[in-house]
Amino acid sequence: MSNRENIMYQKKKKGENIKGPVSRRLTVLRSQLSPDSSSSAMASEKEAALAAAPSDAPTIFDKIIKKEIPANVVYEDDKVLAFRDIAPQAPTHILIIPKVRDGLTGLSKAEERHFEILGCLLYTAKLVAKQEGLEDGFRVVINDGPQGCQSVYHIHVHLLGGRQMNWPPG
């Protein structure tokens, strides 16, 4: 753990307000989840996930796909888009999303018709991991639902690497 990561971890552990990428992510999530309400600040990703709800409205990821919101894209093809997370939880933290949601808001909503895109997301994780030099290993995570800490209801894969992962997670 770098010195900066350690400081961020200690602040988070003490419940202190953390400025920077985490605050920016929560601000973006807040604006997506309740664009008319900026009065109550969410203190964590967990609160953002608990406040989120599946909807047919465009998600922040739909806006990234349409280039309405900038992202640091590391991979793109006709089916998927991969970009760096704005609040990384590891030295390498990349989100991989399908370009078409097709009702696939989370893994628990997957149907047989989603078989191909689910495989494509995982294969893309492997390609991006290689591209990012994660030959010593990496972790793939799919959060699902409020208790799984899903804050954006557009299925997405987290690719994490560049440090030793711990077990059990979260």
Positions annotated as catalytic residues are 156
- Rounded Cα gap, residues 107 and 143, in angstroms: 8
Burial 51-85 (b: 16+ CB within 10 A, else e): ebeeeeeebbbbebbeeeeebeebbeeeebbbbeb
* DSSP label at residue 102: T
Q: Is 168 helix (H, G, I), strand (E, B) or coil?
A: coil
**H/E segment holding residue 139:** strand 138-141
Token pair of 149 as six digits: 């800490």
